[in-house]
């Protein structure tokens, strides 16, 4: 994820993590989603840790 939802909108829409998870689960329920807050310096431990 590249950002966070504005605080005043979180109550209505939730955070991007939940939005995108729900969207992809509707299309392909078998996938698993891992998110990172890269704007806050959070990255996977390994470059090839994920398929996409």
pLDDT at 1: 55
1-52, pLDDT tens digit by residue? Answer: 567 888 888 888 888 888 888 999 999 999 888 888 888 898 999 988 888 7
pLDDT at 37: 85
Q: What is the pTM of this model?
A: 0.62
pLDDT at 2: 64
Per domain, the residue ranges of the chain are 7-40
Residues 8-41: b if buried by 16+ CB within 10 A, e if exposed: eeeeeeeeebeeebeeeeeeeeeeeeeeeeeeee
């Amino acid at each position: 994820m590249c950002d966070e939802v504005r605080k005043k909108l979180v109550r209505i829409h939730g955070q991007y993590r939940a939005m995108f998870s729900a969207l992809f689960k509707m299309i392909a329920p078998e996938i698993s989603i891992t998110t990172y807050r890269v704007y806050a310096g959070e990255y996977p431990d390994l470059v090839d840790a994920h398929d996409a």
